[in-house]
């Protein structure tokens, strides 16, 4: 599995933790930045990860910024992206099962490292249920 990952400065520390966690599980990581805790604009990294997902350069994306909102909004501007802001494992599971989310977004300032790991594990293992949910996600892109 290959994951594209990105964050702004507020998500940098959590991003580094997730990279280490995922590498231990044998996941290939494409780190789109930022590469330090110095101030950075979330949109730059949201777009970079979204483009890699749209172009099928990776299986999924993971994003984080302080609240998760800004970077999530940036990623969702791309046709074909369904980025889901998740703060616990149940929301993360539903994002995959019902919304066929292809990017997990985490609120770095409002989630523990342990809960973030749970969200990632669930997001990467749950499957889209299809059925009644398929017609709904077909209505998302404008």
Domain ranges of the chain: 2-137
Please compute the mean of the pLDDT values over residues 73-92 and round it to a whole number: 98
Q: Is 98 noted as a catalytic residue in this protein?
A: yes
> Of 58, 78, 86, 98, which is the active-site residue?
98
Tell me, yes or no, if 65 is annotated catalytic. yes
CB burial string 22-40: b at 16+ within 10 A, e below: beeeebebebbbbeeeeeb
Neighbours of 132 (CB within 10 A): 8
pTM: 0.97
Residues 19-77 have pLDDT tens digits of: 999 999 999 999 999 999 999 999 999 999 999 999 999 999 999 999 999 999 999 99
Nearest-angstrom CA–CA distance, 37 and 64: 13
Contact 9, 64 (CB under 8 A): no
Which of the following is catalytic: 65, 78, 86, 119? Answer: 65
User: Which pLDDT value is given to residue 90?
Assistant: 98
Listed residue (81, 74, 126, 85) closest to 108, CA to CA: 85
At 43-59, the pLDDT tens digits run 999 999 999 999 999 99
Domain range 2-137, its CATH number among 3.30.420.40, 1.10.10.60, 1.20.120.1760, 3.40.1400.10: 3.40.1400.10
């Amino acid at each position: 599995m290959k994951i594209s990952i990105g964050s702004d400065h507020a998500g940098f520390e959590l991003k580094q933790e997730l990279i280490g966690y995922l590498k231990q599980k044998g996941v290939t990581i494409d780190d789109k930045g930022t590469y330090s805790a110095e101030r950075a604009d979330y949109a730059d990294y949201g777009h970079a990860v979204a483009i890699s997902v749209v172009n099928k350069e990776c299986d999924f994306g993971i994003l984080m910024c302080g609240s998760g909102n800004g970077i999530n909004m940036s990623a969702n501007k791309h046709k074909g992206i369904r980025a889901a802001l998740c703060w616990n494992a149940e929301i993360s599971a539903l994002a995959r099962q019902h919304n066929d989310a292809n990017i997990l977004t985490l609120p770095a300032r409002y989630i523990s490292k342990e809960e973030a790991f749970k969200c990632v594990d669930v997001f990467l293992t749950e499957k889209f249920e299809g059925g009644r949910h398929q017609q709904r996600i077909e209505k998302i892109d404008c």
